[in-house]
Amino acid sequence: MSKSTKKIEGITKEFTQGVIDKALEAYPEKGRKKRAPHLAPNTPDSSATCVKSNRKTVPGVMSARGCAYAGAKGVVWGPIRDMVHVSHGPVGCGWYSWGTRRNLMTGINGVTQFGMQFTSDFQEKDIVYGGDKKLKTLLAEAHELFPLAKGISVLSECPVGLIGDDINSVAKQAAKDLDLPIIPCNCEGFRGVSQSLGHHISNDTIRDYIIGTREFAEPSSPYDISLIGDYNIGGDVWSAKALLEEIGLNVKSVWTGDGELEKIAATHSVKLNLIHCYRSMNYMCKVMEEKYGIPWLEFNFFGPTKIRESLRQIAERFDDTIKENVERVIAKYDPIMQAIVDEYKPRLDGKKVMLLVGGLRPRHTIGAYEDLGMVCVGSGYEFAHGDDYERTQPEMPEATVVYDDPSEFEFEQFVHAMKPDLIGSGIKEKYVFQKMGIPFRQMHSWDYSGPYHGYQGFSIFARDIDMAVNSPTWKLVKSPF
């Protein structure tokens, strides 16, 4: 994507490096050495990434990261609505991740949809004697009590891998006995350095146990696509799917927001995979490309500018019918989007935003803020890899601050220096910055709002951003006495 480098007055490489150096001063030497390569002024034009990433978290610094289990349960597996997802191990992990991601689901809870907390609730004796027997029993119980569940995933928590349980063979036998897909996922929280490995492991289990095991009953069409890496946070899938259908495409399956197991299993017959969250699902896109010859395309449905760009890129992969549809749809929505921009931009123009999120949002949402006249002065990820930063740097203005897995201490220092008008990050950060009187939106969960994807989502996004930045409550922070 060639574009002119964005610049912000007052933000230079020297300024930002100074801010970084100052933040690093507080660290003991070893910690400073480890953290320094993860922080840098942005270099939009460089092909090299400006920061290191996907390294071990430095102990004791207060990272926002989660674990492999979180990546497997919370991100990839949890949103598949018609499966029972068993958190295998002690009670906590499943409890903390129970309904806390906002991957909305259709269906009837406990009948056709299982957004619940299933756990083997390990006790001391399970640690001592192993949990395989318990697992075998509970799989049969789950099948009996939830007969319409299309499958069961077994998501290992830390102890399972440490005590040497063999969930793979239990799952294999149970799958045979119960005639049901049972997918063991060795996603213990201590594996890897972040959620990211959990995504990868989950992708691998989809590859090994699911893909290719079903076929769509209806005849295929040249417009069959799959929507990959959209987890339906606050209903995002429903908005994105409606838009893709409006341009004439058939969304045959969604990975995995409001997802259905058998449709995911039949995805190998689609013509194109459209990937929203590259970080968590690029693996399976690549597998499907190699194994089934399905091309894939990254797209961005945040804000009218990026939606327009993405729709045209998608159209390029199809015939004139789709191309015409896309132009028609863009022409239909352009004035509606312009009205939104006209309403909110005067109140948000020139405001600065800083982001710290996961997956794709630290880069994908920048355009939506820019549509509202805002500028991004800092961005970073909890668990990104180099290829994420390659994609991020061109989106961010020159010399703005890039941070990989920042500690809360660093993030605070950067905020003090960059003085954003809005911070978009997570629940752990939210109240820290709100105490400082800085407007904040949770950008993992859309702060209990959404959807933010697609044309439908932009009106909600714009309203929410305006509401956060311009809430009259901020004027009350300073007491008159």
Partner 1 sequence: MSAEAAVKYVTETPIEEVERVSAWINSEEYKEKNFARQALVINPPHACQPLGAQLAAHGFEGTLPFVHGSQGCASYYRSTLNRHFREPAPAVSDSMTEDGAVFGGQSNLHEGLENALALYKPKMIAVFTSCMPEVIGDDLTAFIRNAKKKGVVPEDFPTPYANTPSFNGSHIHGYDAMLNSILQYLTEGKQVEGRCTGKLNLIPGCDFNTGNYREYKHILKEFGIPYTILADITESFDSPLDGTYKIYPGGTKLDDAADSINGKATITLGPYATAKSYTWIKDNYSGKHVSLPIPMGIAKTDEFIVKLSELFNKPVPASLKEERGRAVDAMTDSHQYIHGKKFALYGDPDYLLGYVSFLLEMGGIPLHILCSKGSKKFEKEMQGLLNGSLYGAGCKIYMNKDLWHMRSLLMTEPVDAMIGDTHGKFAARDAKIPLFRFGFPIFDRVNKHRYPLVGYQGAMNMITEIANKFIDIKDDTCEDRFFEMMR
- Which residues within the stretch 158-177 sit at the binding site for partner 1 (CB under 8 A)? 158-159, 161-163
Structure tokens at 167: 């969930």
Catalytic residue among 40, 50, 67, 468: 67
Asked if 333 interacts with partner 1 (CB under 8 A), we say no
322 lines the binding site for partner 1 (CB under 8 A): no
Contact stretch for partner 1 (CB under 8 A) within 97-105, 231-239, 343-351, 453-461: 97-105
277 in catalytic set: no
Local structure of 437: helix, strand or coil? coil
Q: Of these residues, 85, 199, 214, 444, which one is catalytic?
A: 199
Q: 3-class DSSP state for residue 44?
A: coil
Choose the catalytic residue: 101, 191, 364, 444.
Answer: 101
> What angle in degrees, to the nearest 10, is found between the helix axes of 278-292 and 195-209?
30
Closest CA to 444 of 354, 352, 353, 361: 361
Q: Which of 41, 79, 89, 394 binds partner 1 (CB under 8 A)?
A: 89
Judged by DSSP in three states, 157 sits in coil
| Beta carbons of 277 and 268 less than 8 angstroms apart | no
**What are the backbone angles phi and psi of residue 376, rounded to the nearest 5°?**
-95, 120
Residue 57 is a binding residue for partner 1 (CB under 8 A): yes
191-199, 276-284, 337-345, 364-372 -> range binding partner 1 (CB under 8 A): 191-199
Note whether 368 and 461 are within 8 A (CB): yes
Examine the residue annotation and report whether 143 is marked as an active-site residue of this protein.
no
Map the footprint of partner 1 across residues 263-282, applying CB under 8 A. Answer: 263, 265-266
Does 258 contact partner 1 by CB under 8 A?
Answer: no
Is 214 marked active-site? no
- Give the DSSP letter of residue 267: G
Position 215 contacts partner 1 (CB under 8 A): yes
Cα–Cα distance list, 276 to 54, 190, 202, 232, 365 (Å): 20, 27, 17, 11, 12
CB of residue 390 vs partner 1: minimum separation in angstroms? 26
Name which of 111 and 336 has its Cβ closer to partner 1: 111
Report how far apart, in Å, the C-alpha atoms of 217 and of each of 252, 379, 426, 447 are: 11, 45, 41, 39
Residue 398 or 429 having the CB closest to partner 1: 429
Check residue 211 for interaction with partner 1 (CB under 8 A): no
464 within 8 A of 368, measured Cβ to Cβ: no
The residue among 126 and 371 lying less far from partner 1, judged by its C-beta, is 126
Q: Please say if 142 is a catalytic residue.
A: no
Distance from chain centroid for Cα 242: 20
- Quick check: 96 binds partner 1 (CB under 8 A)? yes
Chain positions 64 to 83 lying near partner 1, rule: CB under 8 A, are 64-70
Q: Interface mask (CB under 8 A) for partner 1, residues 124-163, using x and -?
A: x-xx------xx-xx--xx-xx-xx--------xxx-xxx
CB-count exposure of residue 477 (10 Å: 0-12, 13-18, 19+)? exposed
Can you tell me the distance from the alpha carbon of 166 to that of 174, in angstroms, rounded to the nearest whole number? 13
Q: Which is nearer to partner 1, 7 or 65 (CB)?
A: 65
Find the part of the chain contacting partner 1 (CB under 8 A) among 38-46, 51-59, 238-246, 302-310. 51-59
Q: How far is CA 449 from the centre of its chain?
A: 16
Between residue 376 and residue 415, which ones bind partner 1 under the rule CB under 8 A?
407-409, 412
We find the least distance from the C-beta atom of residue 393 to partner 1, in angstroms, to be 26
Residues with catalytic annotation? Answer: 67, 70, 101, 199
